[in-house]
Amino acid sequence: MEAEYEIGIRWTAFPLHPDTPEEGSALSDLFAGRNVDLPAMMYHLRAVAEQLDLEFGSRDHTYNSRMAQELGKWAESQGRGHAYHLAVFRAYFADGSNIADADILLSVCSNLGLDETKAREVIDARTFRKSVDIDWQRSRKLGITAVPTFRLASSHLVGAQPYRKLADMLARHDVPQRDGRQRKD
């Protein structure tokens, strides 16, 4: 029996440090008492990002991503979800921006051609709060503990991964390439 697949990424919101205040927290405070070598961890993250050709700047704070996630659900409903998620990733990881700040999120939306007035309404009304709550519950139910996590059937890849690892996971599940051909080992 041949399986049919809709190939694509389904972004699922994840509660990454949900208690972080809107103004953010210093990474040194976040990892205090955890026996974490913060400079070594940042060096490693930067090296992985470089290997994967991802932007990664210098940052010393973490910020609450809840509102960015809610606005991301709206951007998805506008057909701009993928571009929005990439732009927020860049703002956070490359630029060190506070993605809990509504003005920063509105700027991201504006730069993507999304209606800034409607985006403000979504933020003010918390229109997609329940949708993010459902994603957080799903993440917990699936045992997801880190982002990104790539999931296909019973397979999981955790962390930023090279294309080859993602392609290998697809091949193990007989997901054809977009042109209909089977993936080669």
- Type of residue at 86: L
Which helix (H) or strand (E) element contains residue 149? Answer: strand 149-152
Q: What's the pTM? A: 0.82
**By CB neighbour count within 10 A (0-12 exposed, 13-18 middle, 19+ buried), where does 5 fall?**
exposed
Give me the chain's average pLDDT, please: 88
Question: What pLDDT does 179 receive?
Answer: 65
**Backbone region of residue 101 per phi and psi (left: phi > 0; alpha: psi in -120 to 50; beta: other values):** beta
| Interval 114-135 mean pLDDT | 97
For each of the domains in the chain, give its residue range(s) and CATH number, in order of start.
25-142 (3.40.30.10), 148-185 (no CATH)
